[in-house]
Amino acid sequence: MTPEETIRRALESEASTVDVRPDALSTIRARTRRRRTRAAVRVWLGAGMAVAAAVALIFAVDRPGPAPLPGSPTSTPTASAGASPTVAAGPLVAVYWSHDDRLVREFHRAAAADTPTDRVRAALALMFGTAPLDPDYTSAWPAGTAVRDVTVAGDVVTVDLGGATSPSALATQQLVWTVTAASTLPEVRIGAGGPVLRRAPAIDTLAPVWLINPQHDDVVRGGRVEVHVAGFAATARLDITPAVAGYPRDLTLAGGSPAQREAQLTLTVPPGRYTLTVTVAGGASDDHIVVVE
């Protein structure tokens, strides 16, 4: 639309409230400029908020209390019989492991860490120095790999692994996902001269399905088990052993690619030791033992 057409339409819309004086045209032009300025500010602020929300969303998946789906119960990792590889009272940090050549995640206790550098050190100490809670999970890194130094400069976390060379693609992403989860920074470099790395697409890297909560060997009191499932399929089958009435059953996973879909629910079961198994089309599965007291 040309400036003349804009002014003409503004004159028509303002005819009932603006007296047509010799300076009416300049008055309307001034009003139009103010409106355009306000609209531009709203667009700019909206874009900035969208960027911030997108950055937050990338790493929200790695917080101990994943954001619940609308109308769903909140799921938080429960106390575990063997979930304290280091300091029992420390914070939970996300650590990624290998399962069937894809990545899965557990939350482990770590020593208190206030800075991004300290959080990365704590997470990598767990990844390289402890075993996964789930015996089905492994590390893609060779035994004996150790962290010599961690530094942060801008958005890049540099991890010096000493003599470690030529890690596999899966091992590289295991480190990248763990470091970015701990630091909330998007870029990682292995060694001072290494290339800058980012998280590979989730759908190509993460397991087709995993049981976020309960974690393996969690101990739950009160008979209520908060279940949180994530995967890339539209549905997942949840089975429980010993048998519980109403199971197995299909769960609808909400969300969509490229992010994981999720489902949350609460089980009420009598005391006992149960195995929860989630399976998606194609046969990929994940199972955890939970003790209900």
Confidence of residue 93 (pLDDT cuts 50, 70, 90): very high
Across the range 5-25, mean pLDDT stands at 39
Mean pLDDT lowest among 88-97, 169-178, 231-240, 271-280: 88-97
pLDDT reported for residue 112: 74
pLDDT digits (tens, 9 = 90+) for 46-76: 444 444 444 444 455 676 544 333 223 333 3
pLDDT reported for residue 61: 60
Distances in Å between the alpha carbon of 24 and those of 4, 14, 36, 203? 14, 10, 18, 59
Nearest to 235 by CA among 280, 277, 278: 280
pLDDT reported for residue 90: 77
- Residue ranges of domains in the chain: 3-60, 92-203, 208-292
Confidence of residue 113 (pLDDT cuts 50, 70, 90): confident
Confidence of residue 111 (pLDDT cuts 50, 70, 90): confident
pLDDT at residue 104 greater than cutoff 90: yes
- What's the CATH number for 208-292? 2.60.40.650
The pLDDT > 90 percentage for the chain reads 62
At residue 235's C-alpha, the angle toward residues 256 and 103, to 5°, is 65
Query: Mean pLDDT highest for which of 63-67, 76-80, 160-164?
Result: 160-164
Mean pLDDT lowest among 87-91, 115-119, 188-192: 87-91
pLDDT at residue 17 greater than cutoff 50: no
pTM tops 0.85: no
pLDDT digits (tens, 9 = 90+) for 197-238: 999 999 999 999 999 999 999 999 999 999 999 999 999 999
pLDDT reported for residue 291: 98
Sequence-distant contacts of 137-145: CB under 8 A, at least 24 apart: 137/97, 137/98, 137/99, 137/104, 137/106, 138/97, 138/98, 138/99, 139/97, 139/98, 139/171, 139/174, 140/98, 140/167, 140/168, 140/170, 140/171, 140/174, 141/167, 141/171, 141/174, 141/175
pLDDT reported for residue 175: 98
pLDDT reported for residue 238: 98
Across the range 254-269, mean pLDDT stands at 91
